[in-house]
Structure 1
């Protein structure tokens, strides 16, 4: 039976064993064989529904995080167009890293490629259908946005202060907590932030003797910025992340992670 689908294999052996039993036990065994074959076929026909249900259950476990990431990675540009490139990348990443391993483990490996778009659509519905608290309007002015970010860090227990409009050397906010100094550059943009901001805040961390560095934005980050951040250790955060930001010590070194 090499190369056959599991359903065909089950039907084959059910018929073989059921037929043999029928010779010995007659009509009752044949009736049981027919019922078993029908159950196998119904189970097969129900497979697409079970697949969709599995994907929904996985997505719903992460609904709050998905909804927040969807809000953070979608924004209006200066022309009123909705820019969601960052969210589309995030959605695909979630499907690839979180959903696929689980659906493959449940026997749906053959659905991975042909139904990838369907999985993304399910994730989209879950994320868009989750009710988040109303977003707080952020200041439009850059300096006011820096103060706003400092206030959010203060609410999270950081001793945070803006550095001022001039002479900041790429640092807009200095924050300290539990002996960790965080150097922050704030970007209130209408487009994703590029890797120049990552370079600037990495240098600012050296200038200000920072333990960690972060770029905070309302508008997401370009792939180049994300790549450089991974190399330099700079955190790329949405301002929503600041209320849960905490210093963490690990393996003898200081680092900062966004607690969600």
Structure 2
């Protein structure tokens, strides 16, 4: 193993150098060599504790997001069964893409496989223990939930207005701030949101001549929804994210192409909002 080979190499070269020094300087050099070998051994014995501490620190740095994902990705189906498949995938994704690279960057990469189950257990424990806002804060009624999300956006400084129930073309809220127009579809679900919502808000983005588009939900999102959102540059948000949402133009390969004059489309969108 790389870690054991490195330890053996350090012990060998320290012993070799110390032996040569002891041959010249005698007892003091021999004592110093023994102290160095003892420190190397103690450092090796402390390695598991350092690794566990790094794992915990890495996970705790993302505790709020993990706790939210855990809430979003777990639900009870129509038969009373708790479904946590999405959370299991999210937990493994985080471990593979965040925790293991952190270990590798500190020279502990070879420990990852042996610690895999421990890492997943630690993620679960920290995510479960992190406090989250009361889930009942968000209203269950769809229209009330849209108004709830609208208020969250207003608290963040957006000029947000719900669209008309009919003719919204996939948008429940249109918000503007800092020259950025945000198109939002709200989904108050008891299970993860599918990719149909992503398709609808992607179409609404063009209809409303928006700069950004998002699906906001109290629940999580299916793998298909996440994949489509990544390809079309649609944001998938929890309603708790809205209070801290800042205006910025969408970037990336899926960004909707800019249209030179926005005249007619923008004017039509404003007229619908005015009617509201």
Identify the residue that residue 6 of structure 1 maps to in structure 2. Answer: 6
1:191-221 per-position Cα deviation (integer Å, ceiling 9, x unaligned): 1111111111111222222222211111111
User: How far did residue 60 of structure 1 move?
Assistant: 2.8
Q: TM-score, normalised by structure 2?
A: 0.79
Secondary structure of residue in 2 paired with 1:246: coil
In 1, Cα distance between the equivalents of 2:71 and 2:116? 22
Identify the residue that residue 92 of structure 2 maps to in structure 1. Answer: 92
User: How far did residue 133 of structure 1 move?
Assistant: 4.4
The answer as to whether partners of 2:156 and 2:244 remain within 8 angstroms in 1 is yes
User: How far did residue 136 of structure 1 move?
Assistant: 4.8
Correspondence 1:29-68 to 2 at 5 A? 29-68=29-68
Residue-pair matches, total: 253
Identify the residue that residue 222 of structure 1 maps to in structure 2. Answer: 222
Identify the residue that residue 174 of structure 1 maps to in structure 2. Answer: 174
1:109-168 per-position Cα deviation (integer Å, ceiling 9, x unaligned): 211222233223333333333334444522112122122111211222222222233332
Question: Which runs of 4 or more aligned residues in structure 1 lie more than 6 Å from their structure 2 counterparts after TM superposition?
Answer: none
Summarize the Cα distance change of 1:78–1:246 in structure 2 as closer, same or farther, 3 Å threshold: farther
Summarize the Cα distance change of 1:67–1:159 in structure 2 as closer, same or farther, 3 Å threshold: same
In 2, Cα distance between the equivalents of 1:3 and 1:232? 44
Identify the residue that residue 246 of structure 2 maps to in structure 1. Answer: 246
Summarize the Cα distance change of 1:104–1:32 in structure 2 as closer, same or farther, 3 Å threshold: same
The answer as to whether partners of 2:72 and 2:192 remain within 8 angstroms in 1 is no
User: How far did residue 11 of structure 1 move?
Assistant: 1.1
Can you give the 5+ residue segments of structure 1 that lack an aligned partner in the other structure?
256-260
Identify the residue that residue 183 of structure 2 maps to in structure 1. Answer: 183
Taking only aligned residues, the RMSD between alpha carbons, in angstroms, comes to 2.8
In 2, Cα distance between the equivalents of 1:140 and 1:108? 47
Instruction: Identify, as 1 or 2, the structure richer in helix.
Output: 2
In 2, Cα distance between the equivalents of 1:40 and 1:199? 58
1:176-196 per-position Cα deviation (integer Å, ceiling 9, x unaligned): 222322221111111111111
The answer as to whether partners of 1:247 and 1:254 remain within 8 angstroms in 2 is no
The answer as to whether partners of 2:71 and 2:219 remain within 8 angstroms in 1 is no
Identify the residue that residue 258 of structure 1 maps to in structure 2. Answer: none
The answer as to whether partners of 1:180 and 1:254 remain within 8 angstroms in 2 is no
Identify the residue that residue 213 of structure 2 maps to in structure 1. Answer: 213
In 2, Cα distance between the equivalents of 1:196 and 1:236? 13
Secondary structure of residue in 1 paired with 2:248: strand
Instruction: Identify, as 1 or 2, the structure richer in strand.
Output: 1
Identify the residue that residue 21 of structure 2 maps to in structure 1. Answer: 21
